Amino acid sequence: MKVVILDNAADVAKYGADIFIKQISAKADSVLGLATGSTPVALYKELIHAHQNQQVSFSQVSSFNLDEYLGLSGEHSQSYRHFMNEQLFDHVDIDKNNTLVPPGDAKNPLIACHEYEQTIKESGGIDIQLLGIGRNGHIGFNEPSSSLGSRTRVKTLTQETIDDNARFFAEGEFQPHLSITMGIGTILEAKKVVLLATGENKAQAIVDTVQGAITANCPASALQFHPDTVIIIDEAAASLLENKEFFRHIERENQKLESSLAL
């Protein structure tokens, strides 16, 4: 896996956004895999900015979000559908009919999970998947102990994740304990994966992902199997990595190679 260590969170967002802009420039009808959480917000702001500057158009793009709370409809202010509309879709020229988020209010969630997988397949597959990472190493809502071959399914949230996300819910407001999430197997089928992490509270999860054994205890470690994953992190999230200098060296070499190929 490629690990890119940058000075700060703003640089992480820019670097990540550039990868998405390049992807859409190369393939106007790209299929994006999108993520919620605090970390992707700055990247979405960069994409909106690039759209406003006519650098990128989403008119032919389609998207699949990683996950949704089970029990919340898309109209609920804490739903991930609502989040995506507010943070990205309402500000770019994407056709919202082409943006899919797992249906948190599905009558039969088991069938809905199966249909979500089918729709991804029918789209031709995800070209590029954006990921955040939980402090416990989760990707999407694939909590520790998730099967590394898992597909879209209903997943029970850990208390740690419920506590981490409680900040978004008002006191006394219903906070779901279940979700629908793409599986790790689903994520591994994306052609390219871009994982962002910033801040010291992600440092242990990043060590476990990059340097640890591949284990269901750290779902993101499964990305070691993926042929084209880039992990973009700030200094704080990189602080526990042993081989930071080597990763910086690789990135400098990659940059040199890319600029020589562009000539």
Could you tell me whether strands 229-234 and 31-34 are parallel, antiparallel, or unpaired per DSSP bridges? Answer: unpaired
**CB-nearer residue toward ligand PGA: 98 or 146:** 146
Q: How far apart are CA 168 and CA 2, in angstroms?
A: 32
**CB-nearer residue toward ligand PGA: 51 or 138:** 138
Do residues 17 and 50 lie in contact, with contact meaning Cβ atoms separated by under 8 Å? Answer: yes
Whether 76 is a known active-site residue: answer no
Integer CA distances (angstroms), 102 to 35, 60, 109, 212, 254, in order = 12, 21, 9, 31, 36
Query: How many residues sit close enough to ligand PGA to count as binding (CB under 6 A)?
Result: 6
Whether 235 is a known active-site residue: answer no
For ligand PGA, which stretch binds (CB under 6 A), given 12-20, 130-138, 206-214, 222-230? 130-138
* Shortest CB 135 distance to ligand PGA, Å: 8
For ligand PGA, which stretch binds (CB under 6 A), given 102-110, 129-137, 183-191, 254-262? 129-137
**CB-nearer residue toward ligand PGA: 133 or 203:** 133
Instruction: State the alpha helices, DSSP H only, in the chain.
Output: 9-26, 39-52, 80-87, 109-122, 159-165, 184-188, 203-210, 244-262
Binding to ligand PGA by CB under 6 A, coded x per residue (else -) over 28-47, reads ---------xxx--------
Q: How far apart are CA 17 and CA 243, in angstroms?
A: 25
Per rule CB under 6 A, is residue 176 in the interface with ligand PGA?
no
Among 133, 188, 207, 222, which residue interacts with ligand PGA (rule: CB under 6 A)? Answer: 133
Whether 258 is a known active-site residue: answer no
* Shortest CB 246 distance to ligand PGA, Å: 26
Integer CA distances (angstroms), 249 to 5, 209, 223, 242, 253, in order = 10, 20, 21, 14, 6
Per rule CB under 6 A, is residue 200 in the interface with ligand PGA?
no
170: Cβ–Cβ under 8 A, 6 or more apart, which residues?
none
* Shortest CB 100 distance to ligand PGA, Å: 18
140 closest CA partner among 109, 101, 181, 105: 181
For ligand PGA, which stretch binds (CB under 6 A), given 83-91, 101-109, 126-134, 232-240? 126-134
Q: Which among 68, 117, 127, 143 is annotated as catalytic?
A: 143
- Which residue's CB comes closest to ligand PGA? 37
Could you tell me whether strands 99-100 and 62-65 are parallel, antiparallel, or unpaired per DSSP bridges? Answer: parallel
In DSSP terms, which residues pair with 153 in a beta bridge?
A: 181
Which two tokens mark 195? 């994982």
* Shortest CB 37 distance to ligand PGA, Å: 3
**Residues taking part in catalysis:** 67, 136, 138, 143
